Structure 1
């Protein structure tokens, strides 16, 4: 199962799962204005909708991480897709702001299932290829946002935001069926290079001692800390940028569509470019993936600053600068994920990833609300600029620390896998006899 065409079929299934799920999750941004108009709410109340889903997602990350390291990840991901469909339908029928707050927050339950997905994919591909594969998968996130934006702009006025939620919720139920019957569960650790020539491997599942040892890895701790601030910009941009273009830069609906389509397409390209560069430099040095991540965040910060400072009347230059910015800001994503797996044993990778996301979401849960508060007292422009630039500078500093510490933690994992492979080899059936 770990070689050949089937593993690419699995990548394809999860690409469409992520594409449609992200379209549903990020619809709230393009639909901000009609939702605010229907419920008669302000920016702070609107920000609370996203904050609620982020908090719920953060709470469920450890739950999904533990379950995915202990039980079948494929079946659990099917369940997550079913929950996505059901909670989106409930959001579509919510009659009041309070009810919508509850139902929209409940969509965070399935948002935190991704560690199981990435862990499962890691058991189909060796370390040297994971950055590229994760980069390809993560194209689905900005493309999902693009699909959501097009749905909101093209269909929102004609059928209303509630009907759009019915459509995306139904797609969640359909994907649950595809994953349940189409995706097989690989044995954990079989794609590690040390296990390459071993026909049968033991079954490894979650272990509390191994999980606690994650916090002894100093490079991993710094990755967790950069994650705490690293998602602030994503939450602010995906939630508020659409409204920023409409209300402060004076973009028409068509101009918003053109600007966002260009930026999102280049953002999507940034994931596989960053992943491929990380894999290539990882082949040269163990620090390679993190070096690419550091370059990505600091370059993205500089370009965003220059883009936001473009005069309002020069819409073409602003669009071009945002396009350049979009290429660099996703460089870290596939490389951080791959680096987490470069230092963790296979049976706790979902847990390690879920801890990372728990810290990320826990820290960034306040980002949409904080941005709304700053916007009410200043402007969305100042809000976006202050939060994004500050966060990315801090991420750059944390990455410098990881660059220094990482080789030792990678060597520790490779030693553990070598010892495990030697034990497995000694337990293989003898080729002589019978």
Structure 2
């Protein structure tokens, strides 16, 4: 398989990997009631499970980024898939809450393995096409959430949550074998327009001095700052929305599924739409992606406030508003990934993305735990909807901050993108002179 056919095949493999991995990662939240009941958990203990995995993921991001920029990205991704399967199996046999907390935290090791996947995509597709590819791949997150929801309300009810983890872990190990033998690396920078008619792109090597230059890019600094707050909302909502719907809005299990399923499908649509809009406006202006991302987070804040304050007894209105909110939530995600690749040199893109995700996870790791502590505190003060109030406070405050950082990025990003292509142009001239 060569050319476009092989490129599309790799995207398909990545899509399957991310879909199954996200299903495994997000499956725990729809099964919250079973796990709460088994060990009699508090909201703080439940929040600690997600936080522990996010902390481990954050710690491993820099290591994954460095390894991806030095060695074969395909082989490393295969190893990450094996780790996913093995750690999920350990979670399935955990006998106590404390051991489950430890084994579930260990799943964070492979959760931080995406930077190499995204940098490999950047070498297969030109800058004008990356947004929609990232959007396509990232819609696996809500689709995985949906798959997890279906498994939790069907198979987990009859077989138990442990057997479900055995199945998803086994799929991770099987997929690691497929990736090992089918996904190949390609020279870094291959898809950049400066190298379009050059057969030998060259072997641009990772250097620590180039990583230091990342922190000299003002637009990347703003992107990293927004990243610290940017995934607070997602981790807060995924950790608590199911228990919020059942306990504070009085939904039955069937009603939770009927409410969340349309919202998740609309959320999935938001990823490729956000990516395509980013590509469209990027062609018109280098700041186009960032402005699309800013629109997404601000609309999410406004609509979530309206949604969670809608009447409890009007379930139809709540469902419609939740779907509208869900559509805008993912707009930023594919555009953030594309923007980092628009600015960083090809040979350090995995590291640049790893820094982005390390900072995101460093902040997001606190999100479920903070939300749980806040909800428990609000409950003591007789708040009628402690989980709903906690989610609103966390999500709206962080989205507003993200909007501010995206605005600041839009003021300076054109220069940083132009600087990158000036350097690539110099490399292209040197490559031509050698050929």
TM-score by length of 1: 0.98
Alignment-derived partner of residue 119 in structure 1: 119
Residue 424 (structure 1) shift: 1.0
2:415 is aligned to: 408
1:393 corresponding residue in structure 2: 400
- Name the residue aligned to 2:275: 275
Q: Which residue of 2 aligns with 1:432?
A: none
Whether the 8 Å CA contact 1:2–1:191 is kept in 2: the answer is no
- 1:205 Cα deviation from its structure 2 partner: 2.5
Structure 2 CA distance for aligned equivalents of residues 253 and 421 of structure 1:
59
- Which residue pairs with 1:167 in the alignment? 167
CA distance in 2, matches of 1:174, 1:141: 20
For 1:104, the equivalent position in structure 2 comes to: 104
TM-score (norm 2): 0.97
1:25 paired to 2:48: no
CA drift of 1:2 comes to 7.6
Residues in 2 aligned to 1:27 and 1:7: alpha-carbon distance in whole angstroms: 30
Deviation at 1:33, TM superposition (A): 1.4
Take 2:108 and 2:432, find their aligned partners in 1: how far apart are those partners? 43
Aligned: 1:421 with 2:420: no
- Name the SS of the counterpart of 1:374 in structure 2: helix
Deviations 1:269-289 (A, max 9, x none): 000000000000000001000
Deviation at 1:373, TM superposition (A): 0.9
**Residue segments in structure 2 that go unaligned for 5+ positions in a row:** 379-385
Q: Report the Cα distance in structure 1 between the residues aligned to 2:121 and 2:368, rounded to whole angstroms.
A: 31
1: distance between equivalents of 2:306 and 2:193?
44
Q: Secondary structure at the match of 1:412?
A: helix
Q: Which residue of 1 aligns with 2:298?
A: 298
1:282-321 alignment runs, 5 A limit: 282-321=282-321
Q: Which stretch shows the higher mean deviation, 178-187 or 62-71?
A: 178-187
Please show how residues 365-376 of structure 1 align to structure 2 within 5 Å: 365-376=365-376
Counterpart for residue 37 of structure 1: 37
Aligned ranges 1:23-422 → 2 under 5 Å = 23-378=23-378, 379-422=386-429
Once residues 205 and 241 of structure 1 are traced to their aligned partners in structure 2, the CA distance between those partners, rounded to angstroms, is 45
The SS at the match of 1:185 is coil
* Unaligned 5+ runs, structure 1: 429-434
3-state SS, counterpart of residue 84 of structure 1 = helix
Deviation readout 1:144-196 (Å, 9 max, x if unpaired): 01101110111111000000000000010011011111111111000000001
Deviation at 1:3, TM superposition (A): 3.4
| Distance in structure 2 (CA, Å) of the matches to 1:174 and 1:237 | 31
Map of 1:11 onto structure 2: 11
